[in-house]
A and B are shown apart, each in its own frame.
Chain A
């Protein structure tokens, strides 16, 4: 085997020495990482400072005894006038479970629709199937309280939209599907019957295929600790895509009868009406106990003026 010349050996040694020196310095430097330190800013109490997610309640109200935070039972009782030759009032009644939190003056509500009932028109009752109700899903609504600490504590909620048979990016403001446009991609089929939109049952024998939006906003006052009552504004938009029989698919002129809308919010104590002891208020429990917090108004055609208000 040929031996390298002496100067070649020296060159290799010198080159290797240089590289070894470099990596030796690298190893030395790598040990120079500074010890972690904190900044000079101390933690602040977010409640006192009012920042972060744990905002304080109104002055003098601590989260533990906040009169709004918790579970509420809600009943809305909307008055709708229908023109069928004469003016007829029908009441649209809903029961909802509301879980409420707050940040300052703002209340954040998660509303779950448990029951929807319409009083009959000429004996024909409209039934909304449970699958359709379930499709409405929990609704996030922001409300306000004004005047805490005064005699009159007011309550108002932002517009809330309940969609049936249709989905929207902006449920309150997006346009409804056009009449007859059963191919609108926003239409849903919550009961999976293959018909466009939601299917309502009218009078027990007729099926009505619709896309429907109810928009409402509540305004009321605290009538007693844990109870809010009042009215509001309410509008229903409905697009009919067909019916199983022609008669129930006939459109009727309707209008919202604002002066006669009613709602009730009843705060529940921990465990109240929790019959199955699962730690929360279920829809079945709310329906069973509705008589303990709401008295539904019966329809009264005299409430519907001859002329549209």
Chain B
């Protein structure tokens, strides 16, 4: 009967939706203990970090409260290869089919810095007096604002905007707000389950624009409606202890992302007789901080004071939604491998270290797109210090992590001929059709022969560098 009740509660917990998103945690680790072990925590997490790694792990530890500060710095570079001569979009005055390359608002150049990240972790787990139950909440919040998003294009369209490249899966993307909540229940001494959710903000903006004179587009009336909502992702986890020294964990996390939907209805005087253009409808869908469906498996072996753990994390990056909301379907699913260890000592600190290999989901960018990402090798160290203060148990954990971006050299592939840019074209494409006529002779203008591209990623780039992270948590077990 008791077992049946536990099973029922477990099923209820699993059926309870809970949200969580962890961009900073994905890249640098969620919590100092996990960060010190290269994120090897699927079978080890026992506090608020379980909300990120394996929610069932909350049942392993006593309830408690955690506050921490984490930071990440970088020394990364996207070194642009020099543009060869003769591929610019030509200046044909009013007849130019595209805005000529010489009129770009921003110059193309190397990227040598990413924003430093500062995040505050706050969260806790509670039992509500029911020993096998844990409810948890964690927030990882940017300490310098509320995060940032940047909507960029992955191909030649970006020339009209930043005219530069950007790391797609690190950097600014990690500076987001992470809200996680969930519940876990120990069905048996050897089995725990949990379910949670990640919450991401979304925004929907609708603007109604009246343009009294199309030739004076700086004179307009605009009424804006903005709705801010949330988007929920889910995660579930299970933790099994088949042997007194061995724990096995598995966790699944659904995709989630920050989304901004913008729709404009533009009324232009003079178009009122044309039902198809009155109003002109414009729609923009911006996606940021995308995290994929993730399936994690972990094992931990504890022998005396030594614990060793290993994780394999399968990320379904093939469902990646880029910053314009498109699903390129060209990313590869990845399997990350993480190893971590911990030596607990009778007196003195507990030392931790970890290694991981985080392969890039981005395939070779020899074609039209310019996604920048690198394989990463991670080495981390840290320690935990037990502190007794007025009869209360505290633990101070710290971590330092280094991630090396394996150098990547990208060259666009030459085609003969390069197809004209358009929907469905995936190779490096010609922005001006070779058959574009001279307006006077009506014959193909030789100025448009061959490849013309303003893609910021042309003719290629090199990306490399290192990421350094530090973090410290203070945990109070009660």
**Contact residues of A with B, CB < 8 Å?**
7-8, 10-11, 14-15, 18-19, 21-22, 25-26, 29-30, 32-34, 36-46, 49-53, 55-56, 103-106, 108, 142, 144, 146, 170, 173
B82 at the interface (CB under 8 A from A): yes
CB-CB < 8 A to B464: which residues of A? 32-34
B460 at the interface (CB under 8 A from A): yes
Question: Between A and B, how many residue pairs show CB distances below 8 Å?
Answer: 143
Are the CB atoms of B84 and A44 closer together than 8 Å?
yes
A-B contact pairs, 5 of them (CB 8 A): A38-B82, A49-B447, A104-B445, A106-B95, A142-B93
Choose, from B145-153, B234-242, B316-324, B346-354, the stretch at the interface. B346-354
When C-beta atoms are compared, the residue in chain A nearest to B86 turns out to be A44
A36 to B379, CA, bound (A): 27
Are the CB atoms of B351 and A49 closer together than 8 Å?
no
Are the CB atoms of A105 and B93 closer together than 8 Å?
no
Are the CB atoms of A49 and B86 closer together than 8 Å?
yes
Q: Interface residue count for B (Cβ, 8 Å)?
A: 57
A170 to B85, CA, bound (A): 35
A264 to B88, CA, bound (A): 37
CB-CB < 8 A to A170: which residues of B? 215
CB-CB < 8 A to A36: which residues of B? 79, 81, 462
B407 at the interface (CB under 8 A from A): yes
CB-CB < 8 A to B382: which residues of A? 18
Are the CB atoms of A105 and B440 closer together than 8 Å?
yes
Q: Mark B331-350, 1 if CB is under 8 A from A, else 0.
A: 00000000000000101110
Partner of A108, one of B93, B347, B440: B93
A34 to B414, CA, bound (A): 23
Assess A50 versus B449: contact at CB under 8 Å? Given A7-B348, A11-B348, A26-B402: yes
A255 to B333, CA, bound (A): 75
Which residues in window 389-409 of B have CB below 8 A to A?
400, 402, 404, 407, 409
Partner of A22, one of B88, B400, B450: B400
Assess A142 versus B94: contact at CB under 8 Å? Given A30-B75, A51-B87: yes
Are the CB atoms of A7 and B347 closer together than 8 Å?
yes
Assess A52 versus B86: contact at CB under 8 Å? Given A25-B402, A26-B468: yes
Q: Mark B68-104, 1 if CB is under 8 A from A, else 0.
A: 0000000101010110111111111111000000100
Partner of B85, one of A21, A33, A52: A52
B466 at the interface (CB under 8 A from A): yes
Are the CB atoms of B438 and A104 closer together than 8 Å?
yes
CB-CB < 8 A to A42: which residues of B? 84
Q: How far is the CB of B322 from chain A (nearest CB, A)?
A: 24
When C-beta atoms are compared, the residue in chain A nearest to B462 turns out to be A34
CB-CB < 8 A to B353: which residues of A? 18
A105 to B464, CA, bound (A): 47
A7 to B351, CA, bound (A): 13
Are the CB atoms of B81 and A39 closer together than 8 Å?
yes
A25 to B82, CA, bound (A): 31
When C-beta atoms are compared, the residue in chain B nearest to A51 turns out to be B90
B411 at the interface (CB under 8 A from A): yes
Q: How far is the CB of B366 from chain A (nearest CB, A)?
A: 10
A56 to B82, CA, bound (A): 25
CB-CB < 8 A to B400: which residues of A? 19, 22
B459 at the interface (CB under 8 A from A): yes
When C-beta atoms are compared, the residue in chain A nearest to B465 turns out to be A33
Partner of B90, one of A11, A18, A55: A55
CB-CB < 8 A to A49: which residues of B? 86, 446-447, 449-450
B299 at the interface (CB under 8 A from A): no
Are the CB atoms of B84 and A39 closer together than 8 Å?
yes
B474 at the interface (CB under 8 A from A): no
Assess A39 versus B459: contact at CB under 8 Å? Given A34-B409, A50-B446: yes
CB-CB < 8 A to A50: which residues of B? 90, 445-449
Are the CB atoms of A41 and B438 closer together than 8 Å?
no
Interface contacts beyond A40-B411, A40-B413, A52-B86: sample of 9 additional A-B pairs, CB < 8 Å, sorted by A: A7-B348, A8-B348, A25-B379, A38-B82, A43-B86, A49-B447, A50-B447, A51-B87, A144-B440
Partner of A104, one of B92, B413, B468: B92
Assess A22 versus B412: contact at CB under 8 Å? Given A103-B92, A142-B94: no
CB-CB < 8 A to B347: which residues of A? 7
Are the CB atoms of B466 and A30 closer together than 8 Å?
yes
CB-CB < 8 A to B451: which residues of A? 41
CB-CB < 8 A to A105: which residues of B? 438, 440-441
When C-beta atoms are compared, the residue in chain A nearest to B468 turns out to be A26
Are the CB atoms of B407 and A34 closer together than 8 Å?
yes
Partner of A29, one of B404, B448, B450: B404
A286 to B448, CA, bound (A): 40
Are the CB atoms of B84 and A41 closer together than 8 Å?
yes
When C-beta atoms are compared, the residue in chain A nearest to B353 turns out to be A18
CB-CB < 8 A to A53: which residues of B? 90-91, 102
